[in-house]
């Protein structure tokens, strides 16, 4: 019998790539999404790419217990859940913290309550490397203290703690994956990251400059204490991240006792903004115009994590390099200049 997995937020950037990987591995899926930041077209394309019909879909909000119960009841019993649904923009979380606490924490609470009700206690949760705050010692290890400095990261820390309490009180198997910076797209160019409006993040901004949709990249800060003065992050290919979810889920299904795993998911190698710009130019042959502007409030000089624990426990490590992230991200942007939308 194939395992059946509920994916909340499965139409989003990371969720759609993970759904594709799981379908290719023979899982049955049900996706719950309210399309707050995504399009149903992503799921159509996942079906088209995999040729699989084992994907059910429930449109609804993860904060709505009835909607979550509908997802649990729309096919056979659910064996495990991957919880992507949530909000992720740091600036927005500062401007509207209540919305972040509601969607990210309350949404996770409602989901966990429905899981309890259905006696499904296997969960992979999307956490983030920003839970480490503004660290000064690198690389980051999972046992280092968390020190979230904005509501987005605070909500993620709170959910990690709530899930920890569940693992201690009942027979739950939980993995909190602290992602570094996922970028790129499926190599087909059919699914990818589809930010609404002006992208906040570096990678989609670069691909939009390459396509002529934006005139130049504004590099936030030139005076960080890094090798070239620009900020350093650990960028990983979204397909590597999607595969990390499938091996994590496999690991939890094998677990014989209550379990809470917290894992850094990154390459372990930091790249500066200028490294990424030049890497993109090399990989695609396209020039990227840029200018230096003021630092962006809330940015840290550097985030670089050690992914050794994921390698030791799951046997997972990132396989794709910057050139592939750039080529695949560019293929997606070129084929879909307006993302999943047909009109600007
Ligand atoms: P995304 O916005 O593309 O995907 C999130 C999905 O959740 C979207 O499809 C959205 O419509 C859905 N959603 C939002 N609120 C919902 C609600 N109340 N009910 C049901 N569905 C809802 O984002 P992503 O980049 O795929 O990120 C997925 C998860 O990973 C998020 O929880 C995010 O915080 C976390 N994360 C992302 C990054 C990153 O750089 N992309 C880094 C670290 C952690
Ligand atoms: C940001 C969020 C992080 C979130 C992640 C994914 C902040 C402070 N952090 O991470 O919590 O999990 O997005 O949504 O918002 N840069 C430019 N010009 C740009 C865009 C970015 O120079 O137009 C630089 C940034 O200063 C940074 C690097 O590029 O040094 C990466 O930025 P970004 O892609 O936004 O990722 P994070 O800041 O790591």
The packing angle between helices 40-50 and 13-24, to 10°, is 20
pLDDT tens digit sequence for 15-46 = 999 999 999 999 999 999 999 999 999 999 99
| Total-model pTM | 0.98
Q: Is residue 15 part of a domain?
A: yes
Residue 225 burial by CB count (10 A; 0-12/13-18/19+): exposed, middle or buried?
Answer: exposed
- Residue 277's pLDDT band, with cuts at 50, 70 and 90, is very high
pLDDT tens digit sequence for 243-266 = 999 999 999 999 988 889 999 999
Predicted pLDDT at 341? 86
Q: Is residue 54 part of a domain?
A: yes
Q: How many domains does the chain have?
A: 1
Across 137-150, average pLDDT? 96
Closest CA to 331 of 186, 220, 125, 140: 186
What are the CA-CA distances from residue 231 to residues 39, 148, 182, 202, 324 (Å)?
31, 19, 16, 11, 21
Cβ–Cβ < 8 Å for 97, 113 = no
Distance (Å, whole) CA 7 – CA 342: 26
Closest residue CA from atom 2 of ligand 2: 90
Cβ–Cβ < 8 Å for 83, 125 = yes
Q: Which two tokens stand for residue 156?
A: 């993620």
- Residue 172's pLDDT band, with cuts at 50, 70 and 90, is very high
CA of 12 to the centre of ligand 1 (A): 6
Q: Is residue 211 part of a domain?
A: no
Mean confidence (pLDDT) of the chain: 96
Q: Is residue 284 part of a domain?
A: no
Q: Is residue 279 part of a domain?
A: no
For residue 152, give the ligand 2 atom closest to its CA. Answer: 11
Q: What is the DSSP letter of 145?
A: P
Beta-carbon neighbour count of residue 26 at 10 Å?
A: 10
Ligand 1 pocket test: pick from 18, 32, 37, 154 the residue with the most ligand atoms within 8 Å of its Cβ. 37
Predicted pLDDT at 344? 52
- Residue 113 in this model has a pLDDT that exceeds 60: yes
Q: Is residue 198 part of a domain?
A: no
- Residue 104 in this model has a pLDDT that exceeds 60: yes
Beta-carbon neighbour count of residue 177 at 10 Å?
A: 21
For residue 183, give the ligand 2 atom closest to its CA. Answer: 34
Predicted pLDDT at 343? 56
- Residue 1's pLDDT band, with cuts at 50, 70 and 90, is confident
Cβ–Cβ < 8 Å for 30, 103 = no
Does the active-site annotation cover 152?
A: yes
For residue 128, give the ligand 2 atom closest to its CA. Answer: 12
What CATH number does residue 31 fall under?
Answer: 3.40.50.720
Which residues make Cβ contacts (< 8 Å) with residue 66, sequence separation at least 6? 60
Closest CA to 7 of 92, 91, 90, 78: 78
Pairing of strands 181-183, 271-272: unpaired
- Residue 234 in this model has a pLDDT that exceeds 60: yes
Q: Is residue 60 part of a domain?
A: yes
CA of 160 to the centre of ligand 1 (A): 16
Ligand 2 pocket test: pick from 13, 89, 90, 222 the residue with the most ligand atoms within 8 Å of its Cβ. 90
Active-site hit among 27, 132, 152, 224: 152
- Domain span at residue 249 reads 4-183+236-267+304-318
Q: Which two tokens stand for residue 96?
A: 């509207």
CA dihedral over 159, 160, 163, 164, signed as positive or negative: negative
Q: Is residue 292 part of a domain?
A: no
Residue 331's H or E segment, with its range, is helix 322-335
């Amino acid at each position: 019998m194939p395992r059946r997995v509920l994916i909340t937020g499965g139409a989003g950037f990371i969720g759609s790539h993970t759904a594709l990987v799981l379908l290719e591995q023979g899982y049955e899926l049900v996706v719950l999404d309210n399309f707050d930041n995504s399009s149903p077209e992503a799921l159509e394309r996942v079906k088209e790419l995999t040729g699989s019909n084992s994907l059910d879909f429930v449109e609804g909000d993860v904060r709505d217990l009835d909607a979550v119960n509908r997802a649990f009841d729309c096919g056979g019993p659910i064996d495990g859940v991957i919880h992507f649904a949530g909000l992720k923009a740091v600036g927005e979380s500062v401007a509207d913290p209540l919305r972040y606490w509601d969607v990210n924490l309350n949404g996770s609470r409602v989901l966990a309550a429905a899981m309890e009700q259905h006696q499904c206690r296997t969960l992979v949760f999307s956490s983030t490397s920003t839970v480490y705050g503004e660290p000064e010692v690198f690389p980051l290890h999972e046992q280092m203290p968390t020190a979230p400095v904005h509501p987005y990261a605070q909500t993620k820390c709170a959910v990690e703690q709530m899930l920890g309490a569940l693992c201690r009180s009942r027979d739950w198997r939980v993995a909190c994956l602290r992602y570094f910076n996922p970028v790129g797209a499926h190599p087909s160019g059919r699914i990818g990251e589809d930010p609404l409006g002006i992208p906040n993040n570096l990678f989609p901004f670069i691909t939009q400059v390459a396509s002529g949709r934006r005139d130049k990249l504004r590099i936030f800060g030139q005076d960080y204490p890094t090798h070239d003065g620009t900020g350093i992050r650990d960028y990983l290919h979204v397909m590597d991240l999607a595969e990390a979810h499938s091996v994590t889920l496999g690991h939890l299904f094998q677990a014989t006792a209550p379990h809470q795993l917290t894992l850094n998911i990154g390459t372990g190698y930091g790249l500066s903004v200028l490294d990424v710009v030049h890497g993109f130019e090399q990989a695609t042959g396209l020039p990227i115009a840029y200018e230096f502007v003021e630092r962006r409030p809330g940015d840290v000089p550097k985030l670089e994590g050690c992914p050794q624990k994921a390698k030791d426990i799951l046997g997972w490590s990132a396989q794709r390099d910057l050139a592939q992230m750039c080529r695949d991200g560019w293929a997606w942007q070129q084929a879909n200049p307006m993302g999943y939308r047909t009109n600007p």
